[in-house]
A and B are shown apart, each in its own frame.
Chain A
């Protein structure tokens, strides 16, 4: 039996225990999704979008639960230390909501944030509308839909605003070989929130996460993903947003870990005058592999998009960025900028970049750029001419190169945590703690 068949069997076995099993629409979508997954199989490098990241190896591999992971309470405490008391926390352990560890008492009226598994009972119609289908999904995200066991369901009523960030924390403890999470964020008109997704600790061997954001007219949603998992984890994630007229969506993705991390991040401008910021940083070393595939679809006029990705690739690692901007014929007066810059830090590292523009409208301002290179020699000399030793100067400039991404995060405490993550992942980071 191939592992694909094993997944199908596994899904059939688990289906009746999954949340919302009694809901016919969900059962149907799960069945379609697993069928799609079985049909497509794991993506291989023969697929255009997976040229640099083949998952074919998953076909020959039985998944085992990780041997060790920090206690969830410990992982959470370290995480919380950086934040205000006023923040809101939804914590998931091994793919299941952990109410005891979560804090949501201070949510303002009109804002709901809870477990998807609960929302499927209490508000199945709202979930259905936001849940999405696997019709056009890449196979890992079809598998996610078929098997998702929980996630966050967030609803912001018209005009509501969350001043403090909502943290979604996903902790891998022991006992799960695979986890599949689905987060749904529904932002009604004029609402505003920052949602931070933390993936920490010894994650499951294979984890899939799909986060869906619906931003209604003039809503402002900032999504921050902090991904820091141990070196065995395979992390496959999709973040997909749809923006109505005048809506703002920002995606910040900071990737520091996992053996293989793939992030598919996309948004679609379904109304006029939308704005988006795609901001990302990856730092990989050892034999890690990180891949960001982004898509910004300017379907309507007067949209503005800014995309800035930076990569630090060290050791034997490979960093991949592929960003596509599509400007539809109707999307006149689009303004789009896309950049991806990489520093290669070792002889065996590899950086691949594919910045893509696909343009069908003429009244547009679009530019993209990509670089792979090294630390700027002028800056290095400037630091050395002030007495700073070469190693420290290099570390400092490496940090500075990466920190530019983090500085775009508007929320100060989240920014601080981002800097901390970066410093802890860089060689010589401890020495530069004052930069946090």
Chain B
């Protein structure tokens, strides 16, 4: 369903993604691992449509649609969800208002009736219960003063409400202790379904103990340098990223020679 072909992207003139290829089928969960600075978060931001990244080459096909041609909000409405590594605080806007505005924007787009206040409240409370969030978080400003775990739970809550076809989880485990991590992972697992694909971006393998991926890819120097099954993640844990870096450089050098 998602086909990334030779993707190149840059920020402030600095190339970060340098020929990334990836295919994700319906219902599949792919993990993307890699050292800091390898381009993991850039990939997430580019897929979600962040303007500050410039796609310099390549394409992303999503069920026959040119994903890169859509503005961020249309990608979201079409069912692409990015769980942010650093969810943004928006003081002055209540979580309830924000969630309702987002859900109704997506429902409108899908030809579904918009929720009224009552229906929305019923729905959101049920979902909050499922991710273990207290109701008071509805009336607080979006992410403002939330702990790391609360912010990530709020992301999972939004994912549940927006029912995406493709969810990109950007280092959802960062800054979480093991208990918070389990709760968030449970929330994600609950949302796994044959119609929903996921890209799980992480630096550490431990998240993959809880969200078990179908495939694991290693990103280095802006491209995928290894792909494999679950066991690749364990190998990375055992040996660290050192060998990958060397590999990545070798690959980059080789490609430099080719072009």
Contacts and interface: CB of A to CB of B under 8 A. Distances in A.
Q: Do chains A and B make direct contact within the complex (CB under 8 angstroms)?
A: yes
Contacts of B48: 381, 385
Contacts of A389: 73, 105
Contacts of A386: 76, 98, 101-102, 105, 158, 162
Interface string A415-436: 0000000000000000010110
A399 B71 contact: no
Interface stretch (B13-21, B83-91, B210-218): B83-91
A382 B84 contact: yes
Contacts of B88: 376, 378-379, 381-382
Interface stretch (A108-116, A252-260, A283-291, A400-408): A400-408
B106 A387 contact: yes
A382 B93 contact: no
B117 interface: yes
A387 B51 CA distance: 15
Interface in B103-152: 105-106, 109, 117, 141
A130 interface: no
A387, A432, A434 interface centre (most CB from chain B within 10 Å): A387
A381 B50 contact: yes
Contacts of B94: 435
A377 interface: yes
A306 interface: no
A388 B101 contact: yes
B101 A396 contact: yes
Nearest to A378: B88
Majority DSSP secondary structure for residues of A touching B: helix
A384 to B, nearest CB: 4
A87 B254 CA distance: 79
B31 interface: no
Contacts of B51: 377, 381
Contacts of A404: 91-92
Interface residues of B, number: 34
B223 interface: no
Given A396-B101, A434-B97, A434-B100, A385 B49 contact: yes
A387 B102 contact: yes
A397 interface: yes
A392 interface: yes
B8 to A, nearest CB: 21
Given A378-B88, A382-B88, A387 B93 contact: no
B90 A382 contact: yes
Nearest to A396: B93
Contact of B90 (A379, A385, A390, A392): A379
A400 B90 contact: yes
A400 B105 contact: no
Contacts of A435: 93-94, 97
**5 smallest beta-carbon distances between A and B, as pairs:** A400-B92, A403-B92, A386-B102, A387-B76, A384-B72
Interface of A: 376-379, 381-390, 392-393, 396-397, 399-404, 407, 432, 434-435
Interface of B: 48-52, 71-73, 75-77, 81-82, 84, 87-94, 97-98, 100-102, 105-106, 109, 117, 141, 158, 162
17 contacts: A377-B52, A379-B89, A381-B51, A382-B87, A384-B73, A385-B75, A385-B81, A385-B82, A387-B162, A388-B102, A392-B101, A396-B101, A399-B92, A400-B90, A400-B141, A402-B92, A434-B100
